[in-house]
């Protein structure tokens, strides 16, 4: 028969293992965005017929159009915009040099946010302050969520929702989400920053070319509410 202190240790191990989630439950599953349609089927797009390329934008200003991300970017004034590129030419396109800017009604130019910029904005999330996570058993060292948790979720969202490739093969469509800082772009909370705005794409080119296609200018507008 196990000694009393050994029996107590075994019991504690059993309780701890029962209280903690199984490894499979802790694993974060990938979140898959809906497959993109051809770019010309979206209301907001710009087609270059001579170059056989169409690029569309789908702003996530309403919940139905926002990606199922782990973090609330829209709630922190970072507007998600899905960019959809359809290449109907015989040559692959590359987005390696592309500049994709949000042009506001007053001509303010907003580049797509970097991961560092998103992290700084999201640092205001409550969990970043070191919120204690409740546990079923007393543990001497408090467990907190914070910057590392945000960084991890940022990386996961980037992996699942950004462009998976910067090359668009012939006769194919690729898409990815970019985020744009909307703070200070309107004087009134009731006015959408999408009103009279444009998404501009420059420096898109064919993979084997040294010259760029003409710039794409996609007129934006607020999405229809239900």
Residue 133 in any domain: the answer is no
Residue 171 domain boundaries = 29-121+163-219
CB within 8 Å of 219: residues ≥ 6 apart: 44, 198
What confidence score (pLDDT) does residue 113 get? 97
Could you tell me if residue 174 is inside a domain? yes
Pick the closest to residue 99 from 193, 221, 204 (CA basis): 204
Q: Where are the beta strands (DSSP E) in the chain?
A: 45-48, 53-59, 78-87, 93-94, 99-103, 109-111, 131-132, 144-145, 167-168, 172-181, 198-202, 205-206, 216-219
Decide if 50 is inside a domain.
yes
In a domain, 147, yes or no: no
Looking at the domain assignment, is residue 117 inside a domain?
A: yes
In contact, 101 and 200? CB cutoff 8 Å: yes
The reported pLDDT for the residue numbered 147 is: 75
Q: Is 185 exposed, middle or buried (0-12, 13-18, 19+ CB in 10 A)?
A: buried
Q: From CA 138, how far away is CA 135, in angstroms rounded? A: 7
What confidence score (pLDDT) does residue 12 get?
A: 43
Closest by alpha carbon to 162, among 13, 31, 9, 27? 31
pLDDT at residue 129, as a whole number: 37
How many domains is the chain partitioned into structurally? 1
- pLDDT (0 to 100) of residue 52: 97
Tell me what pLDDT residue 190 has. 79
CATH classification at residue 200: 2.60.40.1230
pTM: 0.79
Compute mean pLDDT per 10 residues along the chain, 226 residues long, and list them: 49 44 58 96 98 98 96 96 98 97 97 96 59 40 59 95 96 98 86 96 95 98 82
Kindly state whether residue 76 falls inside one of the protein's structural domains.
Answer: yes
Residues 205/48, Cβ–Cβ less than 8 Å? no
Residue 46 placed within a domain: yes
Q: Is residue 92 part of a domain?
A: yes
| Pairwise CA distance, residues 199 & 44, whole Å | 10
pLDDT of residue 58: 98
């Amino acid at each position: 028969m196990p000694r009393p202190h050994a029996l107590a240790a075994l019991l504690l191990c059993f309780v701890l293992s029962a209280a903690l989630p199984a490894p499979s439950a802790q694993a974060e599953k990938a979140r898959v965005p809906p497959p993109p349609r051809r770019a010309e089927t979206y209301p907001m797009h710009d087609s270059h017929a001579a170059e056989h390329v169409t690029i569309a934008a789908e702003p996530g200003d309403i919940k139905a159009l926002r990606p199922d991300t782990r973090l609330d970017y829209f709630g922190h004034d970072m507007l998600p915009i899905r960019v959809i590129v359809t290449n109907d030419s015989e040559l692959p396109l590359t987005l390696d040099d592309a500049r994709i800017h949000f042009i506001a009604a007053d001509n303010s130019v907003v580049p797509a946010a970097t991961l560092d910029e998103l992290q700084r904005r999201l640092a205001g999330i409550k969990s970043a302050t070191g919120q204690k996570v409740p546990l079923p058993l007393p543990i001497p060292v408090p467990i907190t969520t914070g910057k590392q948790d945000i960084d991890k979720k940022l990386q996961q969202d980037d992996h699942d929702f950004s462009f998976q490739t910067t090359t668009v093969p012939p006769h194919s469509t690729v898409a990815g989400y970019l985020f744009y800082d909307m703070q200070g772009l309107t004087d009134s909370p009731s006015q959408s920053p999408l009103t009279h705005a444009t998404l501009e794409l420059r420096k898109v080119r064919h993979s084997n070319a040294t010259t760029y296609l003409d710039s794409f200018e996609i007129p934006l507008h607020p999405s229809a509410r239900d």
